[in-house]
């Protein structure tokens, strides 16, 4: 992907000069994709070709998509433009705060809008009172040092103001900053992608009793790979429906609502995505939350080599699922089995893991249960302040020094009637 050389008429255009200042900053230098996207959108807009800036055209011209690709199935353009809006907002709040010309990309559109703003004026200089004629020196009354009293009062007021200001900053940070560990994947400058489980994929695996893999999941002939043999016409319609539907579970909805509320996240900070809608290149930027285990969210398999608790299963749809404890410590079991079947009463297990994204700039939070009850319990666990405190203690985190702590935790929940309750921590690991 490359952008054509800058035309001569742009080299003196104040709008283009603004774009060049923006893309020369560090955040844009780290992202070739966002840099070229902004330059392309600005070029087309300045030259009067805004009508070309459709999602389909941008996907083909900038991201190398085939001309017959479907924006409905591939949201990569929308994802990148959302990320571009965040970076522009970050620029004008920081390095570009003194710009008199700003550029915006309105929500729901792809055409940049340039507008002039009033420069921020410096505060007025203090008025200096006229100098009074010098009076003959008079000795102040005994026992009174007026300048000293004035300075003392000023110093006391300054200390009081400083203390109040500090308290306001602490309170404001407590209100705005998400609690740990949600603070590792939610921020005001980076979008959080919440990738929901693909229930259709899980159903197809059960119908064909096939383990599946991320490679098969991403293959162009995905439908045929999981197509059972000797199907009736009715069964073929069902499989076709499952293959082309983006279905998720009630548990996933509970998880998203719980953690987004606990993180006090704004609507434009979160991007909900189906596992079917994700592409490997997308994870180069942003933070991610994966909901569900490898059986319904195969993207989790990318991180299994870093984890100690690995989901296992015998015959798909027939054998019980379990978490394998690769390196049991004293008092731990080698395996932790699911309840059977989902919806019945019993113990279910889930893992919560925080990891860096290799080759990317963000982090990933993984919430995977052996059943829906376990996944739901993991989300509710992170949404509870007392549970988060217990997790911190279990990991031995004494204080927050600003450095990320990557970890993995196995939790057990009591499931009754499809709902989780009474969740406890079974084991934890620090990931180095």
Last residue of one domain, picked from the residues 67, 99, 116: 116
Residue 232 forms part of a structural domain: no
How sure is the predictor about 173, in pLDDT bands with cuts at 50, 70 and 90?
A: very low
Beta strand pairing status for 270-274 and 192-196?
parallel
Joined tokens for residue 75: 């949201």
DSSP state for residue 304 in the 8-state scheme: G
Same structural domain for residues 101 and 188?
A: no
Same structural domain for residues 371 and 264?
A: yes
Lowest mean pLDDT among 137-151, 169-183, 301-315, 358-372: 137-151
Total domains in the chain come to 2
Residue 36 forms part of a structural domain: yes
CB within 8 A of 169, min separation 6: which ones? none
The CATH number linked to 339 is: 3.30.379
Say what the pLDDT of residue 169 is.
42
How sure is the predictor about 174, in pLDDT bands with cuts at 50, 70 and 90?
A: very low
Same structural domain for residues 88 and 191?
A: no
Range of the domain at 351: 182-198+246-430
Say what the pLDDT of residue 2 is.
45
Same structural domain for residues 369 and 255?
A: yes
Residue 110 forms part of a structural domain: yes
- Report the distance separating Cα 389 and Cα 400, nearest Å: 12
Same structural domain for residues 85 and 188?
A: no
Higher pLDDT, 85 or 326: 326
Give one word for 371, left, alpha or beta, with left for phi > 0 and alpha for psi -120 to 50: beta
Mean pLDDT of 382-400: 90
Residue 297 forms part of a structural domain: yes
Percent of the chain beyond pLDDT 70?
A: 81
- Report the distance separating Cα 132 and Cα 127, nearest Å: 15
Tens digits of per-residue pLDDT, 203-242? Answer: 888 877 788 889 888 887 776 777 767 778 887 787 777 7
Residue 143 forms part of a structural domain: no
Q: What's the mean pLDDT when you consider all of the chain?
A: 82
Distance of CA 29 to the CA centre of its chain: 21
- Report the distance separating Cα 187 and Cα 209, nearest Å: 41
3-state secondary structure of 46: helix
Cβ 111 vs Cβ 45: under 8 Å: yes
pLDDT beyond 80 at 171: no
Residue 161 forms part of a structural domain: no
- Name the phi and psi angles at 324, rounded to 5: -90, 130
Higher pLDDT, 67 or 397: 397
Same structural domain for residues 190 and 106?
A: no
Q: Is 372 exposed, middle or buried (0-12, 13-18, 19+ CB in 10 A)?
A: buried
Residue 227 forms part of a structural domain: no
**How many residues belong to the chain?**
432
pTM: 0.61
Residue 21: which of 121, 74, 98 has the closest Cα? Answer: 98
Same structural domain for residues 96 and 193?
A: no
Same structural domain for residues 264 and 389?
A: yes
Same structural domain for residues 88 and 190?
A: no
- Report the distance separating Cα 254 and Cα 375, nearest Å: 10
Cβ 291 vs Cβ 252: under 8 Å: yes
Mean pLDDT of 316-334: 90
Lowest mean pLDDT among 5-9, 394-398, 409-413: 5-9
- Report the distance separating Cα 9 and Cα 240, nearest Å: 53
Most confident of 111-115, 173-177, 340-344: 111-115
3-state secondary structure of 431: coil
Last residue of one domain, picked from the residues 86, 116, 146: 116
Last residue of one domain, picked from the residues 93, 116, 139: 116
DSSP state for residue 202 in the 8-state scheme: H
Same structural domain for residues 100 and 188?
A: no
Q: Is 323 exposed, middle or buried (0-12, 13-18, 19+ CB in 10 A)?
A: buried
Same structural domain for residues 261 and 371?
A: yes
């Amino acid at each position: 992907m490359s952008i054509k050389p800058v035309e001569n008429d742009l080299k003196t255009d104040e709008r283009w000069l603004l774009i060049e200042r923006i893309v020369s900053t560090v955040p844009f230098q780290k992202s070739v994709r966002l840099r070229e996207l902004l330059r392309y959108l600005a070029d087309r807009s300045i030259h009067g070709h805004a009508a070309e800036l459709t999602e389909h055209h941008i996907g083909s011209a900038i991201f190398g998509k085939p001309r017959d690709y479907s924006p409905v199935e591939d949201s990569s353009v929308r994802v990148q433009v959302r990320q571009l809006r965040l970076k522009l907002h970050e620029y004008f709040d920081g390095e570009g705060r003194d710009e008199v010309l700003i550029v915006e990309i309105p929500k729901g559109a792809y055409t940049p809008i340039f507008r002039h703003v009033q420069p921020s004026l410096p505060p007025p200089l203090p008025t200096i009172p006229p100098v009074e004629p010098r009076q003959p020196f008079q000795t102040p009354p005994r026992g009174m040092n007026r300048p000293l009293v004035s300075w003392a009062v000023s110093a006391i007021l300054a200390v009081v103001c400083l203390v109040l200001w500090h308290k306001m900053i602490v309170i404001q940070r407590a209100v705005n900053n998400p609690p740990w560990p949600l603070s590792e994947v939610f921020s005001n400058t980076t979008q959080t992608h919440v990738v929901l489980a693909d229930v259709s994929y899980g159903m197809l695996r059960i119908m064909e009793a096939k383990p599946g893999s991320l490679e098969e999941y991403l293959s162009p002939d995905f439908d045929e790979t999981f197509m059972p043999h000797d199907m009736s016409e009715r069964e073929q319609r069902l499989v076709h429906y499952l293959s082309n539907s983006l279905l998720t579970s009630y548990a996933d909805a509970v998880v998203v609502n719980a953690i987004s509320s606990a993180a006090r996240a704004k609507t434009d900070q979160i991007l909900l995505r189906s596992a079917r809608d994700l592409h490997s290149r997308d994870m180069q930027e942003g933070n991610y939350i994966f909901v569900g285990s490898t059986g319904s969210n195969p993207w989790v398999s990318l991180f299994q080599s870093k984890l100690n608790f690995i989901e296992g299963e015998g015959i798909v749809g027939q054998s019980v699922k379990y978490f394998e404890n690769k390196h049991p410590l004293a008092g731990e079991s080698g395996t932790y089995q699911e309840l059977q079947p989902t919806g019945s009463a019993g113990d279910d297990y889930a893992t919560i893991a925080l990891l860096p994204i290799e080759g990317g700039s963000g982090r990933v939070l993984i919430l995977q249960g052996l059943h829906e009850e376990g996944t739901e319990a993991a989300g509710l666990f992170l949404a509870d302040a007392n549970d988060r405190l217990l997790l911190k203690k279990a990991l031995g985190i004494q204080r927050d020094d600003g450095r990320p702590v990557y970890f993995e935790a196995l939790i057990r929940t009591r499931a009754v009637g499809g709902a989780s309750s009474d969740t406890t921590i079974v084991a934890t690991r620090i990931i180095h």
